[in-house]
Amino acid sequence: MVLRVLNALTYREVAWFRRFFADYVISWIFPLALSVGVIFLPASISGVNTVLSRMSNLFNYQMDLKTAYSLALALTGIVNVVAIVINDVIQTMFAEFRFMEVGWMILETTGLVKYTIANAIIRPAIMTPLATLFLAPLLLYLNGFSGLVTFALLELVFIATSIALGFYSTIVAIPLTFHTKISRPWTIANTLAPAILAGTGVYIPVNLVPAILRFFAYSTPVPRSCEIVYLISLRGFPSEITLFLVFITFLTSLYLAVSGILSKNADARVRKG
């Protein structure tokens, strides 16, 4: 039964990738423009050396232009992961049960708990590599073979983060879908993702972010993910990555437990009518 659900969700993601390929292209172009702007817009005002000096002081690492741009590129991956996963998981669940009227078909095949678990894992695990694929050729061009190694490590962090965010988004999506009469869930999703990114301080250390903006960010693994992305981009294979994986496994398990309870209650409510 679980395998059938996984196969169905995987097929759906592949079909949607083909159908919405242009959307993925846009999701590659936007972060590229962002990464260029982060480095070269300030450089056009104060000069490249000034920007590199400030970044070196900020991250406590002596940077050249190639290293600085590699770091900016890597951080755009986090932007893509947060924006795509949170929006997609929330809106897809809402659409399937409220707009597309396929909820009963899903519940006739499996339980809501199994569906939400599969949805929280499969969607992010497939979408994240597709959304961050553009980093591979760029890091290869900038850093040679070591750039591919960096990309592989970054992808591990991105996928682990995206699955955790998948369960986090499920916790938000279930009340919106089954316990409210809201008709535009994208207003919530489109607000939540920027709030998390703003509170994380993607391009600056999180301790420099105002405390009021950290509330949403610290309820997710994103701040810690950014720290690991910094370390991977600057040092290659940091020893801290093992601790990060332990941390994110714990956090994902916590999200899983909460979303499981919410899913079970929602399943009982829907079946009772």
User: Any alpha helices (H) in 47-144, and if so which ranges?
Assistant: 48-59, 65-94, 103-109, 112-132, 135-143
- Over residues 67-72, mean pLDDT: 87
Give the least confident one: 44-53, 97-106, 186-195: 97-106
Distances (CA, A) of 262 to 97, 146, 178, 179, 183: 15, 44, 10, 11, 20
What's the number of domains the chain is made of?
1
pLDDT at 163: 95
- pLDDT category at 267 given cuts 50, 70, 90 is confident
Query: 70 with 139: CB under 8 angstroms?
Result: yes
Q: Is residue 100 within 8 Å of 143, Cβ to Cβ?
A: no
pTM recorded for the entire structure: 0.86
Residue 211 pLDDT > 80: no
Give the range of the structural domain holding residue 206, as residue numbers without chain letter: 2-272
Helix residue spans in the chain (DSSP H): 2-19, 21-46, 48-59, 65-94, 103-109, 112-132, 135-143, 145-178, 186-200, 214-217, 222-235, 240-272
* pLDDT at residue 151, rounded to an integer: 94
